[in-house]
Amino acid sequence: MSLLNPLLAIGAGALLIPLLIHIFNRSRFRTIEWGAMHLLESVISQNRRRLRIDQLILLLIRCLIPAVLAFCLARPVLTGGGLLGDAPVALAVVLDNSYSMEAADPGGTRFNGAVESACRVIGELPRGSQVAVVLTGGRPTPLFDAPLADLQTVIRRLRQQKPGLGASDIPGSLELAADLLESMPAVRRQMLVLSDYQPADWSTLSGGPAAALQKRLQSSDIPTQLLLLAGTPLQPDARPDNITVESLQLPQQPIGVGQEFSVQARLKSYSGRDLDAASVALTLDGQPVSTVQTALKSGGTAEVLFRCRSDVAGSHVLTVAVTADDLLPTDNQRSAVIDLLDTVRVLLIDGDPGSQPLQSETDYLAVALTPWTFGRVPLTDLLQTQVIPPAQLTEAALQTARVVVLANVPRLTDPQTEWLTAWVRGGGSLLISAGNRLDIEWHRTKLWNDGAGLLPSAWGELRGAGDAGQAATPAPAAPASPAGPRTARIVSQRSEHPALAFFNDPANGDLSTAEIRRWHVLTATAATETQAGTATAAILDSGDPLLLERRLGDGVVLQLATAVDTDWSDLPLRPFYVPLMQQLVATLAVQIQPPRNLSAGTAAVALFYPPTAADADPAVAAKAAATAPPPPQNTPTDTATPLPAVTLVDPLGARSTLPSRVQGRWLAAETTATQRPGIYLMTLPDGRPAHFAVQTDAAESDLTLLDPQQQQDLAQQLNAVLLTSAEDWLEADRRQRHGQEIWPWVLAGLLLLMCLEVVLQQRFAGVTA
């Protein structure tokens, strides 16, 4: 404590005046003999002690009155550990800019309120203070490259910010703010957190992370004061009024031009009211497709199914929106991106050609991949096949194909193997099937090559029994196992593989009904297990893998343990053979493409081909983009050749330019600035659009906040000060800088003493009268 007017405290010596008056009056009296005095002696002797106490109480009060008056005039100030005055402050502002902050409270959006509170605090900082700002949405991001001492610039930039980003990473944001504070010289450090305090955001901080953060803030050379600025939460019994499109589910299999596909939307209610007829609409590239109505109960969910098709190949944006008057309009719609294919060229290399229909190794496969063509139906097949013998496989033939199938191919020449390996590593997709003509030793040494070749696994022993097919020119084969099952069936189980997930619906076919009479064991050697990107896609009831998949460079290889014709199984005779082969080949064709539907903060990558002369003609470029063959071998790799740039438009409409880089035989453009949910548009050098739909955790749509008691518990756990407004911070800051004057309370005490003196004087006089 200190005094602003210490000289006036000398007036406290006036407390001696009542004491002196009391002593002086007590010493000046005369004794008068009075005859009737003996009649009062008994009364006086009984009340003498009480009279003396009463006089002492009045004396004490009368002494205190001038002393308290002098203390009040001296203006006492509470200073705690000492006044900081106008010493600079290091302040780190942690600002929640997730899309839940767009919720509109009676006083405006939560984000606007948080920004204004931050600006109010920053505007009152002493000269020389430094400020750092950390935005929590999507991923922790500093607003400035380094802390700023120009407070007006900080305020201006803060007011330019917009919410709407992904879910907040609170632990990461607090750690980043602590890092920034440690680099800021000051006599006082503060971390101010402005958030809506959703339970989902702060639950990850409980326990060990909270204790570690508290220890870090307090153990530094200058301890950091943590301040939590919380808004007014909802009443305990209230539900936030919000409706959201929680998710969109698109087909996992590739979709071609003109094919009808389904879009399933899931709605979620965080509202306290029921909706009997919520209007839900689907748009394709901004054009309305369909509108339906559905009932949505309070706190419940509803699913809506749409059917859609398009005759235009390429990237398309699907948006489902629900009409609702709620607190957060941002999440009333959700978007997803789908790529529609025109045609995919598939090169079938037939290792066992025949002269009669359905006698060649690839006859059944060719029919399955192009059923409309073989059926002479006036419809266009998504897949276009070309069948060649192994001898006709050339480097030029590979460049016109998106998928290559090696069907029972005995062997290739060394140049062919090199071309095929380079083609796969550069982004091609390869399917290798077994058969009776395989040169097992050549496959083992060239295509397997101890795990360094194309094959995901070496061909193991031949199992099963039955007609193995007739080989015109026998080739060395793996010995058949004398023991083991004679036939096998595909295990019927739920699959996560994008090609086989189609059959998770029993209506699309039951793979377990097929009989596999012969198959090779795909040996799971130690080398296989250590290969990155190798996985089992399907398995037989014998325990042997039927399909193995391996990522190789930028491409993918799928290995089938049996044949694609009827020699080793009745797969081609089953109704599901057509969709099975189409799913496998079409999925291979698009599997190398990076995903277009992303989580907030995930890198968006577009692969495209080097520009050619055909790009000058938009029609030719569009056709080339739709057919999507692998790029030519002579992709520019000369660093002196400038690579084309890609234009990016983010959800707010801001444009930027992305450089491209060589990735195998492709060119790639990438951006990691995807913290804001919405649609990102890359315009490729040939003019084609590449859309990306970025979404965030649907838990942000639950606008329920921590209640007051939970906020207090959080503040106690973090050893933080809980504030309800910027005024609370300003008052606390003023006390730390200039202390708290208590003279009004001292003056109130003085008035109380004066009133008490009058009351006691009258009471004691009445008693003694």
- pLDDT given at position 745: 81
Spatial CB neighbours of 60, under 8 Å, sequence gap ≥ 6: none
- Note whether 615 and 628 are same-domain residues: yes
Q: If you write DSSP's letter for every residue of 274-317 in order, what string do you get?
A: -EEEEEEEEEETTEEEEEEEEEE-TT-EEEEEEEE--SS-EEEE
- Note whether 60 and 111 are same-domain residues: no
- Note whether 403 and 531 are same-domain residues: yes
Q: Which one is predicted more confidently, 260 or 636?
A: 260
Q: What is the arithmetic mean of pLDDT over 446-469?
A: 84
- Note whether 513 and 439 are same-domain residues: yes
Is 218 inside a domain boundary?
Answer: yes
Which parts of 203-266 fold into alpha helices (H)? 208-219
Check pLDDT > 90 for residue 343: no
Highest mean pLDDT out of 146-160, 363-377, 459-473, 752-766: 146-160
Q: What is the arithmetic mean of pLDDT over 551-564?
A: 92
Check pLDDT > 80 for residue 50: no
- For residue 590, which amino acid is it? V
- pLDDT given at position 22: 67
Is 700 inside a domain boundary?
Answer: no
Complete edge-to-edge strand list for the sheet that includes strand 130-135:
141-142, 130-135, 89-95, 188-195, 224-230, 721-723
Q: What is the arithmetic mean of pLDDT over 83-87?
A: 60
Q: What is the arithmetic mean of pLDDT over 148-175?
A: 92
* Mean pLDDT, rounded, of the chain: 83
Q: What is the arithmetic mean of pLDDT over 481-497?
A: 80
* Two structure tokens written together for 427: 């982004």
Spatial CB neighbours of 255, under 8 Å, sequence gap ≥ 6: 261, 338, 339, 340, 341
Check pLDDT > 80 for residue 45: no
Let me know: does 269 contact 298? Beta carbons within 8 Å.
yes
Q: If you write DSSP's letter for every residue of 571-582 in order, what string do you get?
A: GGGSTTHHHHHH
- Note whether 657 and 720 are same-domain residues: no
Q: What is the arithmetic mean of pLDDT over 501-508?
A: 88
- Note whether 376 and 492 are same-domain residues: yes
Is 43 inside a domain boundary?
Answer: yes
- Note whether 637 and 725 are same-domain residues: no
Check pLDDT > 80 for residue 491: yes
Q: What is the arithmetic mean of pLDDT over 195-219?
A: 87
Classify residue 404 by burial, with Cβ atoms within 10 Å: 0-12, 13-18, 19+.
buried
Check pLDDT > 90 for residue 346: yes
Percent of the chain at pLDDT exceeding 90: 44
Check pLDDT > 50 for residue 637: no
- Note whether 75 and 129 are same-domain residues: no
Q: What is the arithmetic mean of pLDDT over 475-479?
A: 50
Domain that holds residue 136: 89-233+705-738
- pLDDT given at position 624: 44
Quick one: three-class SS letters along 141-157?
EECCCCCECCHHHHHHH
Is 238 inside a domain boundary?
Answer: no
- Note whether 107 and 206 are same-domain residues: yes
Q: What is the arithmetic mean of pLDDT over 248-258?
A: 86
Q: If you write DSSP's letter for every residue of 188-218 in order, what string do you get?
A: EEEEEEEE---HHHHGGGTTHHHHHHHHHHH
Q: Which one is predicted more confidently, 529 or 593?
A: 593
User: Given 560, 590, 620, which residue is the final one in a domain?
Assistant: 590
CATH of the domain at 408: 3.40.50.880
Angle (nearest 5°) at CA 623 between 621 and 628: 95
Spatial CB neighbours of 173, under 8 Å, sequence gap ≥ 6: 94, 134, 135, 136, 140
CA–CA gap between residue 141 and residue 163 (Å, rounded):
13
CATH of the domain at 637: 2.60.40
- pLDDT given at position 4: 58
Spatial CB neighbours of 663, under 8 Å, sequence gap ≥ 6: 554, 607
Instruction: Tell me the sheet residues that pair with 694.
Output: 598, 678
- pLDDT given at position 208: 82
Q: What is the arithmetic mean of pLDDT over 522-543?
A: 71
Is 17 inside a domain boundary?
Answer: yes
Confidence band, pLDDT 50/70/90 cuts, at residue 611: low
CATH of the domain at 161: 3.40.50.410
Check pLDDT > 70 for residue 100: yes
Please choose, from the candidates 289, 751, 369, the residue with its C-alpha nearest in 3D space to the C-alpha of residue 577.
369
- Note whether 577 and 434 are same-domain residues: yes
- pLDDT given at position 671: 94
Per residue in 262-292, pLDDT tens? 999 999 999 888 898 899 999 999 999 999 9
Of 51-55, 252-256, 294-298, 439-443, minimum mean pLDDT range: 51-55
Check pLDDT > 60 for residue 478: no
CA–CA gap between residue 534 and residue 539 (Å, rounded):
14
Confidence band, pLDDT 50/70/90 cuts, at residue 352: very high
What domain count does the chain have? 5
DSSP-based three-state secondary structure for 176:
helix
The conformational region for residue 690 under phi > 0 = left, psi -120 to 50 = alpha, else beta, is beta
Check pLDDT > 80 for residue 378: no
Verdict on whether the full-model pTM lies above 0.95: no
CATH of the domain at 296: 2.60.40.10
Residue 627: C-alpha distances to residues 11, 253, 259, 754 (Å):
98, 17, 16, 98
Is 553 inside a domain boundary?
Answer: yes
- Note whether 474 and 380 are same-domain residues: yes
- pLDDT given at position 615: 42
Highest mean pLDDT out of 7-16, 272-281, 313-322: 313-322
Check pLDDT > 60 for residue 490: yes
Is 759 inside a domain boundary?
Answer: yes
Classify residue 501 by burial, with Cβ atoms within 10 Å: 0-12, 13-18, 19+.
middle
Q: What is the arithmetic mean of pLDDT over 653-680?
A: 90
User: Given 293, 321, 341, which residue is the final one in a domain?
Assistant: 341
- pLDDT given at position 65: 79
Is 94 inside a domain boundary?
Answer: yes
Per residue in 687-710, pLDDT tens? 999 999 999 888 888 888 888 888
Q: If you write DSSP's letter for every residue of 432-464 in order, what string do you get?
A: EE--TT--HHHIIIIIIGGGTSS-SS-EEEEEE
Of 389-398, 546-555, 737-746, minimum mean pLDDT range: 737-746
- Note whether 317 and 255 are same-domain residues: yes
User: Given 341, 364, 395, which residue is the final one in a domain?
Assistant: 341
Check pLDDT > 50 for residue 245: yes
